[in-house]
Amino acid sequence: MPLDPSPQGGSSTAGPILELSDIRKKFGALEVLKGVSLAVSPGESLAIIGASGSGKSTLLRCVNLFEQPTSGQIRFDGRDIEYGDDLWFWKRERILRDLRREVGMVFQSYNLWPHMTVLENIIEAPLQAGLGRRAEIVGKAEELLQKIGMYEKRNEYPSRLSGGQQQRVAIIRALAMEPKILLLDEVTSALDPELVGEVLELIAQLAAEGVTMLVVTHEIAFARDVSDRTIFVHKGVIEEEGPSAEVLGNPGSEHAQRFLRRVLHPNLKKAAGVSDV
């Protein structure tokens, strides 16, 4: 069984599964996103890079309305997603519930429930969403844990796990909802360096299986090797976009060049395929 219960994303449309058109987001007078447009195909792995404060995490959070855009259009799986404070409360709640069932998200912090075991953390949301009988949901969760070598940890509490193990459980928990898109927001940034590799290995496996993913990351070599496409966000706009090998190997934007120089240690540039810009 693949790690993703629905490897091709289960899209009902032949076109992009996600389209963002002129997305803008203001926090008071500060405009964080300044008209971002983006299309993502089913099965595509997209890396989002940029300096801290560039708007990349805000962009990710706008996809499933953890942040409500100030303006712009979100089209997901062939349908326009309504949002806005003027929506009737129950309609807004239904839209959010349905969208977040299909768009999974994993954050920098693991956000596991400390009073629940690993297995309980994974099965809680599918049970609440009515995705099957308990025995069936438990069986799928145990298969996923077995795939990542954590079956023996199923009855442990999060406090007994390493940071890398907790983050892998958080990813599996998101996958248990059978999402059509998986959003990963700097999921290795809170980990000790020696634990980063096990989480990146899991994400690489998901990409190889065709999971549709948007990944905000500073792991540049990983983005080049694993993602199909990379976008570079600078001050709220997409300044560079294209195949990962091109964007990360020979960026045309001066800001992208400077960013890559800062994040890559000099002796890693060659290994990451980034030219000496």
Q: Domains of the chain by range and CATH?
A: 18-272 (3.40.50.300)
The residues near 27 (Cβ < 8 Å, ≥ 6 apart) are none
Instruction: Determine contact, residues 171/177, Cβ cutoff 8 Å.
Output: no
CA 184 centroid distance within chain: 2
Over 60: is that where the pLDDT of 9 sits?
A: no
Quickly state the pLDDT bin for 267 (edges 50, 70, 90): very low
Task: Identify the H or E element spanning 28.
Answer: none
CA distances from 248 to 3, 39, 43, 211, 223 (A): 28, 20, 21, 22, 8
Instruction: Determine contact, residues 184/215, Cβ cutoff 8 Å.
Output: yes
Q: Which of 10, 45, 170 is nearest to 162 (CA)?
A: 170
Q: What is the pLDDT of residues 172-229, one digit of tens each?
A: 999 999 999 999 999 998 888 888 888 999 999 999 999 999 999 999 988 999 999 9
So what's the pLDDT on residue 192? 85
Over 80: is that where the pLDDT of 14 sits?
A: no
So what's the pLDDT on residue 186? 92
Q: CB count, 10 Å around CB of 57?
A: 22
Over 70: is that where the pLDDT of 268 sits?
A: no
Q: What is the pLDDT of residues 112-166, one digit of tens each?
A: 999 999 999 999 999 999 999 999 999 999 999 998 889 999 999 999 999 999 9
Q: Which of 53, 52, 69, 105 is nearest to 213 (CA)?
A: 105
So what's the pLDDT on residue 11? 53
Q: Which of 220, 277, 223, 236 is nearest to 254 (CA)?
A: 277
Does this model's pTM top 0.85? yes
Q: What is the pLDDT of residues 81-120, one digit of tens each?
A: 999 989 999 999 999 999 999 999 998 888 899 999 999 9
